[in-house]
Amino acid sequence: MSFIISKLAWIVLMPSSLLSCLLLLGVLLRRWWLVRSVVAVLFLLVALPVGFWLHLPLENRFPRPATPPARVDGIVVLGGAQEQEITSERGVLALDHHGERLIEGVALAERYPAARLVFTGRSGALGGGGESEQVVNELYVDLVGFDQQRVVYEDRSRNTWENALRTREIVEPGPDEVWLLVTSAAHMPRSMGIFRRIGWEPVPWPVDYQTPGGLAWPRHYSPAARLDELDVAVKEWLGLLAYWLMGRTSALFPAPFPDTPPATPDDRVVKPAPQVNLGSTMSQGDTR
C-alpha cells in the first residue's frame, strides 16, 4: 500500500506537475493573483538552476572511497536506468540518462573477477505490469560479452526499499564480505540509509553525476532541463523525508562514517580490468 500511496503522492507533489495544476486551477477559477504567482515562480525556476543547487548536497554526500577495496565479494546495481518497454518492443538496448549504473556495474565486475554481480529491480511503474528490467539487464550483459553465469538477477522489487530487502535475501551477505553499491550519486544517501537500516553496510560507489561538484553556474541552459532537474532533486529530498518517517532509513540525511576519506578525481574512474580468464571464476558466482 505504501508503494501505491507514494506513487500517487508524487504525481501531485512533483514540482512541474503541482505548478501546472495550480496554474490551471487559477485560470478555471479566475484567480488571477494565483496565475500571476505561479508564472512568477515558474520564471524563477527556469531562470535559476534551483534543481542543480538541490542536487549538490545529495551528490557530494557519499564520495567513492579514496582507495578502492582490494577485495570485493559482490556488486549491487540498483535499477532505474532501464527502458524495458522500448527494449522489449524494438529488440534493441534502451537506457535512460541513468545508464552509467549498468556501465560501471559491469566494469567493476570485470575489475573484481571473484565478485558476484547483482542487478536488482523489476519496475517502479504503478500496477507492476509490463516488462521487467531484467530484459534490459540481460541484453546489456550479452552485448558487452560479460559472463552471464556470474550475474544474479533480482526482478521482483519495485523501489529501493524492496531492492535492498530482496537482494539481501538472495545473496545472504556475510558479515566480513565487501559489497559495492552502485547507483546515481543523488540517490546514494537514501540508498545507503536503507541498506544500513536492514543491517547491511555496502561500500558506496556513486555514478551518474549531474553536477561538477561546485557552485559554478551551469554552462548549458534549457528551461525544460531546469524543471526536470528540479523534479529529480525534490523527489530525492522528499524520499529521504518519507523513508525516515516510515522508519526505512538509518537517518534523515545519512552520511559517511567519519573515517571514510573522499575520493580523488582519478579514483572516481573505473580503471581497465586486467586480462583474466572469466571461465575460471564461474564457480564463485550465482546463476539466475
State pLDDT tens for residues 168-227.
Answer: 999 999 999 999 999 999 999 999 999 999 999 999 999 999 998 887 787 788 888 889
Average pLDDT over every residue of 155-165:
94
Distance, in Å, from the CA atom of 247 to the CA atom of 251, rounded to the nearest integer, reads 9
Does the structure show a pLDDT above 80 at 259? Answer: no
Does the structure show a pLDDT above 50 at 283? Answer: no
> 121 near 133, Cβ under 8 Å?
yes
> 233 near 210, Cβ under 8 Å?
no
> 194 near 244, Cβ under 8 Å?
no
CB atoms closer than 10 angstroms to residue 119: 30
Does the structure show a pLDDT above 80 at 124? Answer: no
Per-residue confidence band for 108, with pLDDT thresholds at 50, 70 and 90: very high
Please state, rounded to an integer, the average pLDDT across all residues of the chain.
Answer: 87
Residue ranges of domains in the chain = 65-210
CB atoms closer than 10 angstroms to residue 105: 28
Pick the CATH number of 65-210 from 3.30.200.20, 3.90.550.10, 3.40.50.300, 3.40.50.620: 3.40.50.620
